[in-house]
Structure 1
Amino acid sequence: MKRIRLGLIGDNIKASRAPALHRHCGEMTGLDVSYDLFIPKEMGMEFDEVFDHLRRNGLDGINVTLPYKERVVAKVSIEDPDIARIGSVNTVLFTQEGAKGQNTDFTGFMSAWRNSFDTAEPGRVAMFGAGGVGKAIAFALKRLGAREIILIETDRQKAETLARNVNSGGEAVARAGALADLAGVDGVVNSTPLGMVGYGGTPVPEGAFPAARWAFDAVYTPVDTPFKAQAEAAGAAFLSGYELYYYQGVDAFEIFTGVAVPDHAALRKRLAEDQHRQINAQT
């Protein structure tokens, strides 16, 4: 049985379900997969040191999450021009030719959207956050045919830079915005860490959530977030960050191994059973 050594680098990842997903994928495809968590601060190392340590010590690939998705770009080669324009990488394959970067948040969001909303277009979208996952989602929204993407970010320069990148080489659909732009949007996206275990909160002030057609929260630990409660109270069809987690993870596994997951229903069942066991253990 071929052994595949994988891992995840991030700061707030102890509750991540990525190890379970990749190990189940390995079992279903006949591969011996290990997937470990690497937290630079707990290792007493900087991100660059952890990255180089894992590459030297024989890992086949790594996922990268907050706050390192942009920082890792300088350490990899990126073949896909769209991913290069996103400027954020969450999947790294270590090869004899060097470290190669991919962004499965980009592909994973599109798959999650189509699985839930089929061929519907996103319409006019307000998105909170213009960081790593936000960059990928913005490009994915444009690919899905969004009419307008309004970027609401505490660092306005960051939002303006992302808007320029999204608009380069095509129709100008993205711009920096503010809370006042929530009125009349079709969709609302949370691509900030707010709501995640260890962070809490929501980017939308109480009482300000618009009557949107749909909403997406990139946070999936926990699944039930304050943003989700706001969206459902406003009557929006809710797309969970769990779906992005699922599809970006499956895409990453295929990049790492070159093997496709044979049965998505069976994989989802395994992951659901894991979650139920975890909940029961806590009660």
Structure 2
Amino acid sequence: MAHAQARPILLGLIGSPIAHSASPAMHEAAAEAVGLRAHYQLIDVANADDTQLRGLLSALAPIGFSGVNVTFPYKERVLPFLDALSPGARAIGAVNTIVVRDGRLTGHNTDTTGFARALVQAFGPTPEGPVALIGAGGVGKAVAVALARFPGLEIRMVDADPAKAEAVAAALRGHAAVRVCRDIEEAVAGATGLVNGTPVGMLPDRGSPVPLSLLRPGMWVADAVYSPLWTPLLTAAKRIGARTMTGRELAIHQALDAFALFTGREAPAAAMERAFDRAVAPLAA
């Protein structure tokens, strides 16, 4: 075992901006807790074109990476450069986890499994709907697939690019009740739940994806953003008495699933939770 660990497992995150990511802390702490050593490298690449992205991904195996996570804005754009996709990643059309084995890159999506488990933890086994889902990009698509697992939920999607929302809705029809809305007001009107699947509200941005006047006390509101943990959207929702779920739960649950894919070991949840909280504490100050 000592020989196998002569050098640390090399992991990373591809995206931009990612300086505030808690992923290095979570994965390195999880590895230590199960007796492994890991180095998790932030690969902050802004505005990469397809040639740069292909080059970056083709270098992962030769450099010795066991896997990388992928975040905004590359969750969909990496697909053409992978050797294989898990059924879940193929269905979603977005990848947040790439496993490197024997020179081959396989894309997975742990945002879906992570969000579904986080939602149950926060709001119980039968979250109520209809649910307004803002964003049909990489995270939005994963959240839509996760919401489709709950029977009886109507998913109301809205995106700045209506064609993206239509494509997700088309893929889910027959599996869930999905409606593409013209605007945020239509999506939120009468909705019981609201999910932000966009980067709006992530530092340094201080905006809200939804006009705060549309929030109501009886709603539950979830945000995929965790830097800061309390986004303007969640702060306003909490202030009026709505139930809330920060991006902490999604971040931890998707990381637990990704760690298992990277290492073949079950990740220790307590170690990841402690590492996440330490990593984001300066942002909450």
Residue from 172, 175, 182 that aligns with 2:179: 175
User: What is aligned with 1:7?
Assistant: 12
> Using the alignment, how far apart are the partners of 1:111 and 1:242 within structure 2?
12
Task: Tell whether the 8 Å contact from 1:212 to 1:235 is kept in structure 2 after alignment.
Answer: yes
Note the 1:115-264 alignment, pairs <5 A.
115-167=121-173, 170-177=174-181, 178=183, 179-262=185-268, 264=269
> Using the alignment, how far apart are the partners of 1:206 and 1:270 within structure 2?
32
Could you tell me how far 1:139 is from its partner in structure 2?
A: 0.3
> Using the alignment, how far apart are the partners of 1:113 and 1:41 within structure 2?
31
Q: TM-score, normalised by structure 1?
A: 0.90
Aligned CA distance change for structure 1 residues 139 and 146 (closer, same or farther; 3 Å): farther
Aligned CA distance change for structure 1 residues 221 and 128 (closer, same or farther; 3 Å): same
CA RMSD of aligned residues (A): 2.2
> Using the alignment, how far apart are the partners of 1:229 and 1:274 within structure 2?
20
> Using the alignment, how far apart are the partners of 1:133 and 1:146 within structure 2?
22
Comparing 98-107 and 53-62, the one that deviates more: 53-62
What amino acid maps onto 2:169 in structure 1?
Answer: A
Could you tell me how far 1:43 is from its partner in structure 2?
A: 9.3
User: What is aligned with 1:17?
Assistant: 22
> Using the alignment, how far apart are the partners of 1:37 and 1:156 within structure 2?
32
> Using the alignment, how far apart are the partners of 2:175 and 2:277 within structure 1?
41
User: What is aligned with 1:107?
Assistant: 113
> Using the alignment, how far apart are the partners of 1:173 and 1:212 within structure 2?
22
Could you tell me how far 1:85 is from its partner in structure 2?
A: 1.5
Secondary structure of the 1:221 match is coil
Could you tell me how far 1:209 is from its partner in structure 2?
A: 2.0
User: What is aligned with 2:43?
Assistant: 38
> Using the alignment, how far apart are the partners of 1:134 and 1:279 within structure 2?
24
Once the two structures are superposed, residues 59-110 of structure 1 have per-residue CA deviations (whole angstroms, 9 ceiling, x without a partner) of 1100000000001111224454332110000000011161111000011001
Task: Tell whether the 8 Å contact from 1:78 to 1:102 is kept in structure 2 after alignment.
Answer: no
What amino acid maps onto 2:262 in structure 1?
Answer: F
Once the two structures are superposed, residues 145-185 of structure 1 have per-residue CA deviations (whole angstroms, 9 ceiling, x without a partner) of 35210111111111111111121xx2441121122231211
Aligned CA distance change for structure 1 residues 77 and 118 (closer, same or farther; 3 Å): farther
> Using the alignment, how far apart are the partners of 1:180 and 1:211 within structure 2?
18
Q: Percent identity?
A: 38
Task: Tell whether the 8 Å contact from 1:116 to 1:239 is kept in structure 2 after alignment.
Answer: yes
Could you tell me how far 1:269 is from its partner in structure 2?
A: 2.9
Aligned CA distance change for structure 1 residues 192 and 42 (closer, same or farther; 3 Å): closer
Could you tell me how far 1:32 is from its partner in structure 2?
A: 0.9
> Using the alignment, how far apart are the partners of 1:136 and 1:279 within structure 2?
26
What amino acid maps onto 2:90 in structure 1?
Answer: A
Residue from 262, 267, 274 that aligns with 1:269: 274
Q: TM-score, normalised by structure 2?
A: 0.90
Comparing 235-244 and 209-218, the one that deviates more: 209-218
> Using the alignment, how far apart are the partners of 2:89 and 2:243 within structure 1?
28
Structure 1 gaps of 5+ residues are: none
Could you tell me how far 1:12 is from its partner in structure 2?
A: 0.6
User: What is aligned with 1:26?
Assistant: 31
How many residues are matched? 277
Structure 2 gaps of 5+ residues are: none
Task: Tell whether the 8 Å contact from 1:40 to 1:46 is kept in structure 2 after alignment.
Answer: no
Task: Tell whether the 8 Å contact from 2:61 to 2:103 is kept in structure 1 after alignment.
Answer: no
Once the two structures are superposed, residues 253-276 of structure 1 have per-residue CA deviations (whole angstroms, 9 ceiling, x without a partner) of 1100000124x2344234334444
Task: Tell whether the 8 Å contact from 2:11 to 2:39 is kept in structure 1 after alignment.
Answer: yes
Aligned pair 1:55/2:61, yes or no?
A: yes
